[in-house]
Amino acid sequence: MTTQITGNKASAETYINGVFEQLKVKNAHQPEFLQAAEEIFLSLTPVFEQHPEYIQHNILSRMVEPDRIISFRVTWQDDYNQVQVNRGYRVQFSNVVGPYKGGLRFHPSVNESIMKFLAFEQVFKNTLTGLPIGGAKGGSDFNPKGKSNSEIMRFCQAFMTELYRHIGADVDVPAGDMGVGAREIGYLFGQYKRIRNAHEAGVLTGKTPGYGGSLVRKEATGYGLVYFVEEMLRDINETFLNKTVVVSGSGNVAIYAIEKAQDLGAKVVACSDSNGYIFDPEGIDLNIVKEIKEVKSDRIQTYVDYRPNATYTEGFQGIWSIPCDIALPCATQNEIDGDSARTLLANGVKVVAEGANMPSNLEAINVFLENGILFGPAKAANAGGVATSALEMAQNSGRYYWTFEEVDEKLQEIMKNIYVKSKEAAFKYGSPGNLVVGSNIAAFVKVADGLITEGVY
Ligand SMILES: NC(=O)C1=CN([C@@H]2O[C@H](COP(=O)(O)OP(=O)(O)OC[C@H]3O[C@@H](n4cnc5c(N)ncnc54)[C@H](OP(=O)(O)O)[C@@H]3O)[C@@H](O)[C@H]2O)C=CC1
Ligand SMILES: O=C(O)CCC(=O)C(=O)O
């Protein structure tokens, strides 16, 4: 018996179900947010059994309501002198553990539900890093695809012209996410400095190294994911050596997950973009992928022009039919459904770890957990990016830069700690080996205790 029950299971379940029913009514048109909340709620019964005081403080209702949601118009001029209008967001979910922190996503699918699910997840993820950062997310329905560099710059300047009043190095620190990399962060930072007349480096992370940015931030989410999987493998006396790996996406997270997995001796045979996927039986040539995606901003389909033995298939979900030992979804939310999960299982997958945010739906997660697949949930496995952002904030405050090796070493240590913390919480609360339950509970307890410490507000 590993748990010590001090409360009552029935009252814990009644409380959690009641909060979820209210949440569904209030957020009826926000499926992604409800999905993210449900995944966490499903882990929490043993916590409320052991901590009836959390019910008394109504912690769950307080945790699912963001501190504030800011939405604003972004007006900018395209290369044809046409005035364009987009919607910008910043969801500041919780600053219990530190200043609001989380990326900005520029993608046409951005809406309030997606912003809220990402910001909610970020609260838990950031807490798991053990660093003093709260949770937020922002972005816009702006579509960067096909836009010129000048259009991207004007959009970023217009976006910051509103956002600047809501952020600050001790208030809220945005960074990149889908569609936002060092180039966009540079334009956003330039505009912030012009408006504020202050070189407040810690107001944004993901800046270019040499201009306030930290070494390793670009690589950190992908590298961190692979470091996390290394810990999972270590527990079963395995390594990446000679494992066959499939990685979805071909953006920032995917590219650096592939790089580190290859460094550790894995054979990565497939990656994708939103149009389709490539399969290279000899192992992906990452230099070609970098040239296509980082230099030319082209489609992954063009990979086969360089590698005659590789194949391209239209449609992104088919990538999960490729047999592999390790699957690393690094593209976007809900890219693995129940059917894809069952296909992976039938083809012998041993480990699934999430580089993207919420890439597996609830059915897929259950398929993995019920069949003994080692499963690394996003909020734990992809926390390396935001952790390195927090290291960038520390360097900005100290007005000093660490070397690549120093940052990389800290990142490895952080990922190891997240793994251990999640594993221990899973064990303590009666679900040994279940990192979904473990990561949810480890983060939840930390935020809940902070809410109690800081009083009712
Ligand atoms: N950047 C970071 O530090 C962090 C990112 N994440 C998460 O990782 C994921 C990827 O982010 P990131 O790499 O930064 O983003 P990028 O914009 O750099 O890359 C996204 C990649 O995913 C592909 N993609 C988008 N939609 C789909 C889809 N429906 N099916 C298949 N592929 C798709 C894109 O293809 P296309 O070019 O066709 O659009 C692109 O290859 C997101 O979920 C993000 O929230 C999590 C933690 C930190
Ligand atoms: O580096 C950051 O602040 C945010 C990274 C991010 O968007 C994420 O973890 O999903």
Q: Which residues line ligand 2 (CB under 6 A)?
A: 101-103, 122, 125, 175, 177, 205, 357, 385-386, 389
Edge-to-edge order in the sheet of strand 135-140: 68-77, 83-94, 135-140, 100-106, 172-176
- Under the banding of pLDDT at 50, 70 and 90, the label for residue 354 is very high
Residue among 152, 158, 151 nearest 195 (CA): 158
Whether 10 has a pLDDT exceeding 90, the answer reads no
3-state secondary structure of 351: strand
Give tens-digit pLDDT for 16-43.
999 999 999 999 999 999 999 999 999 9
Residue identified by tokens 């473990």 is: 438
Q: If you average pLDDT over residues 185-206, what whole number do you get?
A: 97
Contacts of 272 (CB under 8 A, 6+ apart): 248, 249, 250, 278, 300, 316, 319, 331
CB of 144 closer than 8 Å to CB of 93: no
Q: Which of 90, 115, 221 to mutate to test the pocket of ligand 2 (most atoms within 8 A of CB)?
A: 221
Identify which ligand lies nearest to the alpha carbon of 296: 1
**Which residue's CA is minimally distant from atom 1 of ligand 1?**
177
CB of 17 closer than 8 Å to CB of 37: no
Q: If you average pLDDT over residues 188-211, what whole number do you get?
A: 97
- What is the number of other CB atoms lying within 10 angstroms of the CB of residue 118? 30
3-state secondary structure of 56: helix
Q: Token digits for 364?
A: 């897929």
Whether 6 has a pLDDT exceeding 60, the answer reads no
Whether 4 has a pLDDT exceeding 50, the answer reads no
For residue 395, how far is the Cα from the chain centroid?
22
Whether 329 has a pLDDT exceeding 80, the answer reads yes
Q: If you average pLDDT over residues 180-203, what whole number do you get?
A: 97
pLDDT cut 90: percent of the chain above it: 97
**Which residue's CA is minimally distant from atom 26 of ligand 1?**
274
Q: How many angstroms separate the most distant Cα atoms in the chain?
A: 69
pLDDT, position 388: 98
Domain ranges of the chain: 1-58+435-457, 68-201, 219-372
CATH number for the region 68-201 comes to 3.40.50.10860
Q: Token digits for 1?
A: 């018996």
Kind and range of the H or E run holding 18:
helix 9-26
Identify which ligand lies nearest to the alpha carbon of 138: 2
Please give the full DSSP string across 71-83, using - where no structure is assigned. Answer: EEEEEEE-TTS-E
Q: Is the dihedral of CA 298, 303, 304, 306 positive or negative?
A: positive
Give tens-digit pLDDT for 278-293.
999 999 999 999 999 9
Q: Is the dihedral of CA 365, 412, 139, 135 positive or negative?
A: positive
Q: If you average pLDDT over residues 126-136, what whole number do you get?
A: 98
3-state secondary structure of 269: strand
Classify strands 276-279 and 267-272 as parallel, antiparallel or unpaired.
Answer: antiparallel
CB of 281 closer than 8 Å to CB of 269: yes
Q: Token digits for 438?
A: 């473990």
CA distance 12 to 376: 26
Whether 2 has a pLDDT exceeding 60, the answer reads no
The amino acid that residue 8 corresponds to is N
* Cα dist from 44 to 369, 381, 457, whole Å: 17, 20, 23
**Which residue's CA is minimally distant from atom 18 of ligand 1?**
251
CATH number for the region 1-58+435-457 comes to 1.10.285.10
- What is the number of other CB atoms lying within 10 angstroms of the CB of residue 42? 16
Kind and range of the H or E run holding 150:
helix 149-163
Alpha carbon distance, N-terminus to C-terminus of the chain: 37
pLDDT, position 457: 81
Whether 383 has a pLDDT exceeding 80, the answer reads yes
User: Could you tell me which residues are beta bridge partners of residue 277?
Assistant: 272, 313
- Residues annotated as catalytic are 137
3-state secondary structure of 322: coil
Whether 315 has a pLDDT exceeding 80, the answer reads yes
CB of 166 closer than 8 Å to CB of 155: no
Question: b/e map of 227-254 (b: 16 or more CB within 10 Å)?
Answer: bbbbbbbeeeebebeebbbbbbbbbbbb
Per CATH, is 219-372 categorized as 1.10.760.10? no
CA distance 82 to 157: 16
The average confidence (pLDDT) of the chain is: 97
pLDDT, position 1: 35
Dist. CA 81 → ligand 2 center (Å): 33
Q: Which residues line ligand 1 (CB under 6 A)?
A: 176-179, 221, 248-254, 272-275, 316, 330-332, 335, 355-357, 382, 385
Same fold, 68-201 and 219-372: yes
Whether 3 has a pLDDT exceeding 90, the answer reads no
